[in-house]
Amino acid sequence: MQPFAKLLDQLACTQSRNRKIALLADYFTATPDPDRGWALAALSDGLPYSLPLRRILPELMAGTVDPELYRLSRDYVGDTAETVSLLWRDRRKGAASATGDNRSPPSISDVVMTFGTAPRDCVPRLLAETLDRLDISGRFALLKLLAGAPRVGVSARLAKTALAIAFEHEVGEIEEVWHAVDPPYRELFGWLTGKSAKPDPGSRPVFRPLMLAHPIEDEDWARLDPGELNAEWKWDGIRVQIAAIGGHMRLFSRTGDDISKSFPEIASAFTRRHCVVDGELLVVRNGDVAPFNDLQQRLNRKTVSARMLRDYPAHVRLYDLLFDAGEDLRGLPFEERRKRLAAWHENAAPPLTDLSATVRFSSFEELSAIWQGTRADGIEGLMLKRKSSPYLAGRPKGHWWKWKRAPLTLDCVLMYAQRGSGKRSSFYSDYTFGVWRDDGPATLSLEANYGSETDAHAAPGELVPVGKAYSGFTDEELRKLDRFVRTNTLQRFGPVRAVAPTLVLEVAFDAVQFSTRHKSGVAMRFPRIARIRWDKPAVEADTLTTIKALIRAPATL
Amino acid sequence: MRPHRASRWLYPRPEGLYCEPGGFFIDPVRPVDKSVITHGHADHARRGHGAVLATPETIAIMKIRYGEACAGAFQEAAYGEATAVGGVRIGLAPAGHILGSAQVVLDYDGSRVVISGDYKRSADPTCSPFEVVPCDVFVSEATFALPVFRHEPAGREASRLVESIRQQPARTHLLGVYGLGKCQRMIALIRAAGYDAPIHLHGALVALTEFYASQGFEFGALQPIATDARTNRRDFAGSLVMCPPAAIADRWSRRFEDPVTAFASGWMRVRGRALQRGVELPLIVSDHADWPELIATIEQTGAEEVWVTHGREDALVHQLSLMGIPARALTLVGFDDEGD
Ligand SMILES: [Zn+2]
Ligand SMILES: [Zn+2]
């Protein structure tokens, strides 16, 4: 338990992703089986069970700590497991109040086995005995482990990436076998360390790493021939993979997370099939693709109400066929797979699915004209795929491209700036910007006051925030923005500064949607700073009416 | 509960804790005629008093921080020396908090009250150890008065820092410390842990560290970093830089290559506090008594009654009531209960 406890301590204090990966990789290489497997489970999909510590711990503590002191401590610390780890009387040999427990600390596997097989009524006593054998960090790790979610800033994806780096494999390979193995992952580590064969999924539906596209760059066109490419619409949903075999199916997100539970209607559409397909998960009503916002209502839900199913009906638009029954099609050219997909779909006809349409074109001029129209049609852009490309894991160069519709831009006024984190912690690098409200009587706000003082013209009214961006500028521009924030601060709220509304930021974004998060009632998708308009007077920035006019109706293609 | 009779002659006023027959305040928060100052931290020692009674070290520290003329008159009292003012006998005893820190021992009307100021019980090579003074009423600080606070042995924490420097030679270790006391204690501990390379000091830490050195403390090689100096980021790779806590997230810190931020404070015991500050290497070192020290000290003084101030009074008052010791919170304003 001690190495795992140390790992959790270090992860909690590390912000850099690379450093987290290095810590995890070191741990996975240095720790024997099955401890590392249980740790991996805790950091990814969880242990096979979790204990109701929220109920057990206060009862356990009642016997050792005065309830009022426990309450005051818990309120201060803010986390039950941490409070208990700090308050537990240290009984280890050599500890200040030792009463002589000199058994060595238990390993993770001891703990997982002991608590996994213990009768429920023995758990409090066992827990007390185990806590007695650990120090503060160890007690914290134990309680986090048993509660089921350590929450130490590590995603399952990050843990898998660390495994890949530790054992010099591709992360895609690990994702591919992930759903074929179970904690404590002996077969996985056996394969990674070269001691045994690659785990065989047998009759389980497993994830196959997705093939991803590159954004198309100007210089790519010269190397491309229209006749070699297949074009499709780019849909604004989430990329998914459906794997079905032997009466089981799984709906995977792009990173291999199993999201089947949130979409039972898709699950039943695929349950008795035998295939692996690639597609876009969307909310579709009467043939119309609903805005991304609607799909968001369905994500991350453990239970789905009948009302949800009715109001936000899910649909999968199919892009590709990776396996037809047991046959692996990934080595075939895209054109071939596309034909097989059409044939399979015709034959299997799973409900709530359709094929992603092919966009016909004969020249890049023609394609460009089609692309120009995507915004008006409410489509996110185009996908270009080489007809000869096999299905390759990851983001291989020279096969697939995404050609996103041109971003919208608006001139906004910088309102607030917040300190960044990690390398940027000494910079004000997160910017909240707004537009002028022109849809009602102008209220005289603090900002408007300052605006009228610093500008020659009177301010048009009140500024309302519409978005937040922390990218799109160079390091040099960041330094200039930071200097601007520090010299134009009106008010400070902890890490946030309100600045005089005098600086215009040209913000590029993909779309605007209704939102309750901002006072303005709208929010931008994917905003970034396109240009800093040091030259432009703030009064000439855009208005709320302009931005609301950009909210689009659903796509009907 | 009837308050102890000492509360007739010693009680809080807006300016601070007031001793009526002596006509003086202890650590007053605004300028007064006569004051007794426990130690040099800014929330205890302020400028502008008519007269200051304190240890010679505390007076020297006040003059360094605020200038020679920061009080009308100074009266030095070494530990163990007694003075009488208006029939009140005033003595100072070591508090073990920082160099020159004192408990104020007041005898009047047959009662003895000891005002702890800030104190700790664990060893500190840069100041005299806390001395238990038996008394009737003990006025205790309560900065870390929750049972979750148990500081680590300071030497072990310093070794962790030294170990981290050795393991990551490409990075600069940036250690945030308060400028008075913690800074010098950490330097001494780091030296004792076997680190003998030069230690770089932020300009704000220099004057007080020099004062400690003039008092005979050995700190090894120290190199001040001029605040406006244009330095090469790589100059500090592999080295230890100490700075005030606020400088860690300030523009000042940008001159260092990929720094490991460390912070030495009792608050680092709680993960949320370390996360809040973005500290990569939290060191649990404090110049205040932790929970077991607070309780042990109160028991050792044999006090019949305890007045609790400056911190988490409620938990300590509750604990003392469980122990059958009458206790109450003394509402004094102006103290920094975030002291570390
Ligand atoms: Zn102090
Ligand atoms: Zn204090």
Q: Residues A418-440: pLDDT tens digits? A: 988 767 778 899 999 999 988 65
Higher pLDDT: A516 or B22? It is B22
State the distance from the centre of ligand 2 to the C-alpha of B41, rounded, in angstroms.
7
Q: Do A96 and B292 touch (CB under 8 A)?
A: yes
For position B8, what pLDDT does the model report? 94
pLDDT at A259 over 50: yes
CA distance B262 to B281: 4
% of chain A beyond a pLDDT of 90 = 59
pLDDT by residue (tens digit) across B213-246?
Answer: 999 999 999 999 876 656 666 678 899 999 999 8
For position A442, what pLDDT does the model report? 43
For position A445, what pLDDT does the model report? 43
State the distance from the centre of ligand 2 to the C-alpha of B179, rounded, in angstroms.
14
| CATH architecture designation of domain A214-404 | 2-Layer Sandwich (3.30)
Least confident piece of the model among A6-15, A160-169, A500-509, B39-48: A6-15
Q: For residue B182, give the ligand nearest its CA.
A: 1
For position B135, what pLDDT does the model report? 97
Q: Please check whether the two domains, A2-147 and A408-548, share a CATH topology.
A: no
* Nearest by CB: B249 against A13, A66, A426: A426
Q: What is the mean pLDDT of residues B57-76?
A: 96
List, as ranges, residues with CB under 5 A of the ion ligand 1.
B 41, 118
pLDDT at A450 over 50: no
% of chain B beyond a pLDDT of 70 = 95
pLDDT at A451 over 80: no
Q: What integer best gives the mean pLDDT of chain A?
A: 88
Q: Which long-range contacts (CB under 8 A, 24 or more apart) does A267-274 make?
A: A269/A316, A269/A350, A269/A351, A269/A352, A269/A353, A270/A242, A270/A244, A270/A350, A271/A244, A271/A247, A272/A244, A272/A247, A273/A244, A273/A249, A273/A348, A273/A350, A274/A244, A274/A245, A274/A246, A274/A323, A274/A325, A274/A326
pLDDT at A454 over 50: no
Class of domain A408-548: mainly beta
For position A457, what pLDDT does the model report? 41
List, as ranges, residues with CB under 5 A of the ion ligand 2.
B 118, 339
What one-letter code names the amino acid at A491? Answer: Q
- Please give the residue of chain A at the shortest CA–CA distance from B149: A86
For position A449, what pLDDT does the model report? 38
For position A202, what pLDDT does the model report? 78
CA distance B87 to B107: 9
What residue ranges do the domains of chain A occupy? 2-147, 214-404, 408-548
- Please give the residue of chain B at the shortest CA–CA distance from A79: B272
Phi then psi for B24, rounded to 5 degrees?
Answer: -125, 160
For position B333, what pLDDT does the model report? 61
What one-letter code names the amino acid at A147? Answer: A
A195: annotated active-site residue: no
Q: What is the mean pLDDT of residues B32-59?
A: 97
Q: What is the ipTM of this complex?
A: 0.93
Contacts of B318 in chain A (CB under 8 A): 66, 68-69, 72
Domain over A2-147 is classified CATH 3.30.110.30? no
Q: Do B270 and A76 touch (CB under 8 A)?
A: yes
**pLDDT bracket for residue A520 (50, 70, 90):** confident
pLDDT at A103 over 80: no
pLDDT by residue (tens digit) across B69-112?
Answer: 999 999 999 999 999 999 999 999 999 999 999 999 999 999 99
Q: Which of A14, A70, A426 is the mutation pick for testing B, counting most B CBs within 10 A?
A: A426
For position A127, what pLDDT does the model report? 94
Q: What is the mean pLDDT of residues A454-482?
A: 79
For position B229, what pLDDT does the model report? 59
Q: Which of B146, B148, B161, B275 is the mutation pick for testing A, counting most A CBs within 10 A?
A: B148
Q: Token digits for B260?
A: 């490991």
Phi then psi for A432, rounded to 5 degrees?
Answer: -105, 130
Among candidate residues A144, A160, A234, A468, the one labeled active-site is A234
Least confident piece of the model among A251-255, A392-396, B95-99, B227-231: B227-231
CA distance A82 to B316: 21
Q: What is the mean pLDDT of residues A319-344?
A: 96
pLDDT at B332 over 70: no
Q: Following DSSP, what letter does each residue of B70-134 receive, concatenated?
A: SEEEEEE--TT-EEEETTEEEEEEE-SSSTT-EEEEEEETTEEEEE--S---S--TTSPPP----
| Alpha helix ranges (H) inside A218-301 | 264-270, 292-296
Least confident piece of the model among A463-472, B196-205, B225-234, B295-304: B225-234
Nearest alpha-carbon partner for A446 in A499, A409, A487, A515: A499
**pLDDT bracket for residue B174 (50, 70, 90):** very high
Q: Do A69 and B278 touch (CB under 8 A)?
A: no
Higher pLDDT: A55 or B127? It is B127
Chain Cα centroid distance, residue A400: 23
* Nearest by CB: A13 against B147, B252, B281: B281
* Min Cα separation B283/chain A (Å): 12
Q: What is the mean pLDDT of residues A445-462?
A: 45
**pLDDT bracket for residue A328 (50, 70, 90):** very high
Higher pLDDT: B263 or B337? It is B263
**pLDDT bracket for residue A141 (50, 70, 90):** very high
